[in-house]
Structure 1
Amino acid sequence: MAGTDDAAPLLPGQINLAGSGSGHGGSAAGRGAGELAAPIAEPEERELEAALRPKNLDDFVGQERVRKQLSLVLAASKIRGRSADHVLMSGPPGLGKTTLAMIVAAEMNAPLRISSGPAIQHAGDLAAILSSLTEGEVLFLDEIHRMSRPAEEMLYMAMEDFRVDIIVGKGAGATAIPLELPSFTLVGATTRAGLLPGPLRDRFGFTGHLEFYSVGELELVLRRSAGMLDLKLTSAGFSEIAGRSRGTPRIANRLLRRVRDWALVHGVETIDARTASAALDMYEVDVRGLDRLDRSVLEALVNKFNGGPVGLSTLAIAVGEETETVETVAEPFLVREGLLGRTPRGRIALPAAWEHLGLKMPGNAVAAAMLPFDDELDP
């Protein structure tokens, strides 16, 4: 894997993809490309995503607190004439971690190297990447929490002292050869910050957590994207798409492209709320942003198990999906929306789920909804 990293240094603004896992945000087994509301970027859409990415902090919409803090860090580094401190970005997939890494490189007028934690399974993989960095280069590691332990321990010294020790030989005859590294900036991204060990977290000079976007912020994202795609939408059209985008810019841009396709086929020049609604209804993305999988989980919970509680594996079998898919892809959004609850006895449908499906909540389901929530004891 590391063999791709031994290329010639890149000029400022150029990007080298080294085993990149950018945009994946973890496993999504069983989630097909047809699931428009999935926050995971499919390979074929990354090129389109890249064209819509903002190139500087001024163009970046939302995340105002993180944006201001990061702007200060970068400005101070430029005044000092040194590489910026190492940066850690955490948060759910699709919120802009990769985009911010690219902006860091652009703002510092430095080349960008992209790789990912899963691609670095040996210390030698990381050593090959680090030894080929140039002065001031920005190294972006997506899903940094998935690096192997030996590589992680090598990274400690590289981040702090800008050097690594290369072990030559084995056993008693092994020798550590120190290798000096040029000053560089590491930008790490993770969807699960809690899995990062303390020593690694402590070596980042700046940590930013990205939050889900409001509907108003997503409308600004969509307006910018629509301008770049030369699309005409009414204000109501933007609101309709933003309201179904689950607080995630990646999903918003994906839905915008699907609405564009629908309008093109049907000969619609200006997309209004009715057009956007008709298009997204066809793609099975409802008014709250739930897609086919989300509704399948809720409908099974309500219709087959009377609102629960029911174990995760049983629920997964009922909807014909892998347990991991239900837990990591569908549940986070359903829990965040107050539609599904996790209790010591299993998953339950909350009152909002019954209301969303247009059903009346029976008395025994009300009693189940009163169970205490406790993730640690989930079946």
Structure 2
Amino acid sequence: MSDIERTEFQLPSELLAGGRAPDSAVDPGVQPDETDIDQTLRPKSLDDFIGQPKVRQQLDLVLAGARRRSVTPDHILLSGPPGLGKTTMAMIIAQELGSSLRMTSGPALERAGDLAAMLSNLMEGDVLFIDEIHRIARPAEEMLYMAMEDFRIDVIVGKGPGATSIPLEIPPFTLVGATTRAGMLTGPLRDRFGFTAQMEFYDTDDLTRVVNRTASILGVEIRQDAAVEIASRSRGTPRIANRLLRRVRDYADVHAEGRVSLEEAQGALEVFDVDELGLDRLDRAVLSALVKGHGGGPVGVSTLAIAVGEEPGTVEEVCEPYLVRAGLVSRSARGRVATAAAWRHLGLEPPETAAGLH
């Protein structure tokens, strides 16, 4: 994502004439649309951020030390699975520093010129956030090395023997990189970050706090046992917890006048195919294909993907990480193997040879 575009608009004629807009336009009680809610749900400070206590403590020290010395903080790398709050943390860093935040993503930086355009527009102390930084193109990455270390870049003008390199000084800035695959980062890029934070999956207690906070912002009346139920099915991920709460809210609005009890939460999650372990339809299809279709394995990812009608990348990147973390699937040199817990989750008796039975 490049710099935010500015859009001009005209006020309605009745406002220009001094008249009132319709009540829905000025009533503070009117709920914002879903895109507004996405921004509202994001915490604005480290104190408001739920979970990740170690990362918050370390980051607070890094930022506080930089503020005391009146210098730009070291570059920061945020690593971890999707949905744990890396983008939100980058916004908080800029907020804590009182700086502007420029946002882009690795796939958007295909050429060195794309990065040079962003770097040349930075002001001193700005925070540049690059999401999925492991996917940045190699020419742009090599330009980033010099920018991170020396706060300058070399812009090549012309082609062939007549090409000229023009050094361009850029003001000190803080790069915040986010990656879901730290292992794909090149060594030279990883080494240029002064602080690396590893974001961990959330436990049920922290996710329950996330659900309660989101319910308060959305104006949802929810009981504590219902919040715990939603949190326990959220796969350790705040983004999923917020998404499930919205769907439970829809169900409660239709069936219970907006009040979310344990029964309403369970009923909604059943309707939306989320079981007690947080598995959705695709997860259960993969598990069923592994257990019922291939006797528990070992089976290759490509074979499982064909069985459920999905791409191998989808099975490997979307389903498999949680199935392995939940102890339902194990990986071996010969393929994926269903554990005894997977058999029992499907209501079947595991064979004597099932992984994890003894």
TM-score, length of structure 2 as denominator length? 0.89
Does residue 146 (structure 1) correspond to residue 135 (structure 2)? The answer is yes
Which amino acid in structure 1 is aligned with residue 167 of structure 2? P
CA distance in 1, matches of 2:320, 2:279: 11
Does 2:166 match 1:181?
Answer: no
The 5 Å alignment of 1:306-317 reads 306-317=295-306
Residues 318-342 of structure 1: per-residue CA shift (max 9 Å, x gap): 1111111101100000001010111
Which residue matches 2:122? 133
Write the letter of the residue equivalent to 1:200.
L
Name the % identity. 62
Aligned mates of 1:269, 1:187 — CA distance in 2: 40
Change (3 A) 1:45 1:329: farther
Mapping for residues 97-136 of structure 1, pairs under 5 Å? 97-136=86-125
> SS in structure 1 opposite 2:128?
strand
The equivalent of 2:23 in structure 1 is none
Q: CA deviation at 1:7?
A: 7.2
Q: Distance in 2 between matches of 1:119 and 1:61?
A: 30
> 1:295-349: per-residue Cα shift (whole Å, max 9, x none)?
0000111111111111211111111111111011000000010101111111111
Partner of 2:223: 234
* More deviation, 97-106/271-280: 271-280
Instruction: Write out per-residue CA displacement over residues 172-231 of structure 1, whole angstroms, 9 at most, x where no aligned residue.
Output: 222211000011111000000011111111111111000000000001111111111111
Question: How many angstroms apart in 2 are the aligned matches of 1:334 and 1:104?
Answer: 33
Residues 149-179 of structure 1, C-alpha deviations (whole Å, 9 max, x = no match) = 1100000010111100011122222221100
Does residue 79 in structure 1 map to residue 68 in structure 2?
A: yes
Q: Any idea what SS the aligned residue of 1:62 has?
A: coil
In structure 2, the CA distance between the partners of 1:162 and 1:282, relative to structure 1 (3 Å rule), is same
1:350 aligned partner:
339
2:210 corresponds to 1:221:
yes
List gaps (5 residues or longer) in structure 2.
Answer: 7-32
Answer with 1 or 2: which has the greater Rg.
Answer: 2
Equivalence for 1:323: 312
Aligned to 1:260: 249
Asked if 2 retains the 8 angstrom alpha-carbon contact of 1:120 and 1:147, the reply is yes
Alignment check: 8 A CA contact 1:112 1:139 kept: yes
- CA separation in 2, counterparts of 1:194 and 1:48? 33
The residue aligned with 2:85 is 96
CA distance in 2, matches of 1:228, 1:57: 18
Q: Residue 244 in 1 paired to residue 244 in 2?
A: no
Taking structure 1 as the reference length, what is the TM-score of the superposition? 0.84
Runs of 4+ in 1 over 3 A off after TM superposition: 4-8, 44-48
- Whether the aligned pair in 2 keeps the contact of 1:93 and 1:191 (CA below 8 Å) is yes
Measured in 1, the distance between the counterparts of 2:351 and 2:190 equals 47
Residue number in structure 2 paired with 1:24: none
Unaligned runs of 5+ in 1: 9-43, 371-379
Larger RCO: Structure 1 or Structure 2 (Cα < 8 Å, ≥ 6 residues apart)? Answer: 1
Aligned residues: 331
Change (3 A) 1:47 1:117: farther
